[in-house]
Amino acid sequence: MENGFPEGLALQERVEECRKPNRTTLATLMTDSDADSGSRFSQSIKILLNCSRLFGLFYERKQLNDKCARLHKSMLPSLLLCLILACNAVRSLTVYHTQGQSDEVLFFKVQLSIWSFESAVKAFVMFFYSYRQDGFSEFFRKWSEYFGNQVPDQFTILIMKISTVICCVFVFVQTLGILLSFFLSKDLAELFTLVSWCQALDESSLLVMKLLMTFVVFLNSAAAVFPIAMLVVLSLAVIKRFDDFGEEFKSCVSLQGDFHGDLENYRSRHQKLCILVDILDRVFMAVIAIVCVADTVMFCIILHNLIYTMMPASYRILNLFWLVMMLLHIVIVSAVGAWMNVSAHSPLTSIYNIRPSRQIHSRHLEMTMFISRLTDTRIGLTPGKMFVIDKSSILTIAGMMITYFIVVLEFKQGGDPTPPSCNCTVSA
């Protein structure tokens, strides 16, 4: 118009548009920042991740779109590992026959079959949840979303380094042990040969079979321990967050019971930590279940062998080594699960110390939701969604093992009665 208002309004609108943030650019920057933050977490535990990747037990998921991932060459080691361990598990079922096998040979075959299936299940779980969007990638993404650039605490990093070293040492000892058994110990060589293949003693390619079994034991050993190390490290990172949250929440409750803080903020933060626990439980519930079942059965079998069967010293040493490893697996998984359960419910005591007030009454809904979540015992790790591991689970497992040990000893004493001495003579 003549007074220039339309041109002035158009100019002002263009200025306002220039001042508005570029939503696409900001979204891209946020995505890049989140991905970088997620990589910071993974970088902090890269020693464990790299060792797991070396054995085919972990790989980075290559995103294709929001719903699926594309196949990538980084998946090939994991696929190959799953195939080898699955074939080995099936092979372990072909060595059973009903003629002329002693108890120690039969029980040793059962031990190797259980161990083979356990390692195969763990390898498949690691492959499956490395590929799945709701697996490891979601855990790292949620950690980045909730905690930004923060990485696990120093204690978790130390445990990560120690557990990685222990896993590597275990794999080395197991592989060295099978080599020494095949080539230096006559008793163990014959035993391992019998349980490796039905007609192994008659095969001309016995050396090839021994080397092949050594390689399989090497892969089995890695698949047996590295998933447990991953479970421990990721769980400790979340447990530490729960502990810090509990201490911070406790500091908001005065000695007189007054609460000073944003209750909804604390409830929301606790719920985010529970989401991380749910992700870990989804990923590792099969691993925890196979440890609780398979390792407990193997513990009973090995204990039976040590008490009942007459074995050479080398076989006893091997069984003692396996017995210790089974106990460590069960103790570590139970302890981590119980610690997670206790830490997740730690704010409940502080909430009970809060006295009623106008502020609390105005936040009645938030308080009810928070208490309901904390009194729910389902926060924690589970073996296949059957029950949540807590402190009572440790006592239950320990009591079962002690009971079995006592029962085996009683049967041993009852099965070998001392013949009565008699000096009677018969007269003609």
Q: Which residues lie below 8 Å from residue 343, measured CB to CB, with a gap of 6+? A: 239, 242, 243, 246
Q: Which residues lie below 8 Å from residue 122, measured CB to CB, with a gap of 6+? A: 223, 224, 227, 287, 290
- Contact (Cβ atoms closer than 8 angstroms) between residue 388 and residue 288: no
Rounded Cα distance between 98 and 137, Å, is 48
Question: What is the pTM assigned to this prediction?
Answer: 0.81
- Contact (Cβ atoms closer than 8 angstroms) between residue 292 and residue 260: no
Virtual torsion, Cα 309, 313, 316, 318, nearest 10 deg: -140
Q: What is the model's pLDDT at position 28?
A: 36
Domain range list for the chain: 33-412
Q: Is the dihedral of CA 358, 363, 365, 371 positive or negative?
A: negative
Tokens 């980075």 correspond to: 60
Rounded Cα distance between 204 and 187, Å, is 20
Q: What is the model's pLDDT at position 71?
A: 62
Mean pLDDT by 10-residue block, N- to C-terminus, for the chain (428 residues)?
Answer: 46 46 37 46 90 91 55 83 93 73 74 91 94 89 88 91 94 89 76 68 68 90 94 95 91 83 87 94 95 89 79 79 89 93 89 76 76 81 91 86 79 52 46
Burial class for 406, CB neighbours closer than 10 Å (0-12, 13-18, 19+): exposed
Copy the structure tokens of residue 172: 């080395």
Whole-angstrom CA distances from 320 to 108, 180, 418 are 13, 17, 28
Rounded Cα distance between 260 and 154, Å, is 30
Q: What is the model's pLDDT at position 362?
A: 67
Q: What is the model's pLDDT at position 70?
A: 57
Q: What is the model's pLDDT at position 413?
A: 58
Q: What is the model's pLDDT at position 32?
A: 38
Q: Which residues lie below 8 Å from residue 283, measured CB to CB, with a gap of 6+? A: 125, 129, 135, 136, 139
Copy the structure tokens of residue 297: 């059965």
